[in-house]
Amino acid sequence: MSTPDYHLEEELRAQGFLRIAGVDEVGRGPIAGPVTAAAVILDPAAIPEGLNDSKKLTARRRDALEQSLRACAEVAVAHASVEEIDEINILRASHLAMERAVAALDPPPDYLLIDGNLIPRDLTLPARAVIKGDAISVSISAASIIAKTCRDRLMVDLAQQYPGYGWETNAGYPSVSHKNALRNLGITPHHRRSFRPVHNILYQDKSVSD
């Protein structure tokens, strides 16, 4: 099975683009918590070994790679809140988080490699969407690792404030135990009300009260 490499970046560098940022997001599927994006500019002379799609790595390996990336690469992280997700939908919110992460890089990149098949509409920099990019480009895989580790830590912190939902292990995804807790403990301010499992409980509760 192939692993991500630097060939897309090398092609772009040959065209004169030197500050190439990989951009990825994590957290479109959970029913709780924000969506998180990262933008990473790698130093071609100091690329950590073992970069890959964050979902293919153990938590320990992700944490180690995050530390390496923060030591040798330019890294920016941003979020879109639960309120924004419910207001503008998860796709647009994930793009908003990407736009914020890119804007946080200073100086700005001169080219973006973005995971997926769409380029966020408010990005004005030259960019390419790369389907399954975290398995193709090390810059995108680096961004996926940074976004995943940051969001997982955030959900562990939220789990301390709202125990019982298992966010420290399910990261807000709709596991059976999470959905059971939703029914038994109720909806928190960090649940996405536009997502079906949460929306259905709200609707059922309203029907009962009516």
pLDDT digits (tens, 9 = 90+) for 33-62: 999 999 999 999 999 999 999 999 999 999
- Are 191 and 173 spatial neighbours (Cβ–Cβ below 8 Å)? no
Does pLDDT of 188 surpass 90?
A: yes
Tell me what the mean pLDDT of segment 161-183 comes to. 96
Q: What is the CATH number of domain 7-159?
A: 3.30.420.10
Q: How many CB atoms lie within 10 A of CB 208?
A: 7
User: What distance in Å separates the CA atoms of residue 42 and residue 73, rounded to the nearest whole number?
Assistant: 5
Q: Which residues are annotated as a binding site for a divalent metal cation?
A: 24-25, 115
What is the layout of strands, in order, in the sheet containing 127-130?
Answer: 74-80, 35-41, 20-26, 111-115, 127-130
User: What distance in Å separates the CA atoms of residue 177 and residue 161, rounded to the nearest whole number?
Assistant: 18
User: What distance in Å separates the CA atoms of residue 191 and residue 11, rounded to the nearest whole number?
Assistant: 42
Task: Note the pLDDT of residue 1.
Answer: 54
Tell me what the mean pLDDT of segment 123-151 comes to. 97
Give the tokens for residue 75: 């890294």
Give the tokens for residue 179: 């959905």
Give the tokens for residue 210: 């009516």
- Are 42 and 138 spatial neighbours (Cβ–Cβ below 8 Å)? yes
Task: Note the pLDDT of residue 209.
Answer: 45
User: What distance in Å separates the CA atoms of residue 77 and residue 100, rounded to the nearest whole number?
Assistant: 8
| Euclidean distance between the first and the last CA atom of the chain, given in angstroms as a whole number | 56
Q: Which residues are annotated as a binding site?
A: 24-25, 115
Task: Note the pLDDT of residue 110.
Answer: 97
Helices (H), the chain: 7-14, 59-72, 82-88, 90-103, 138-161, 167-170, 176-185, 196-209
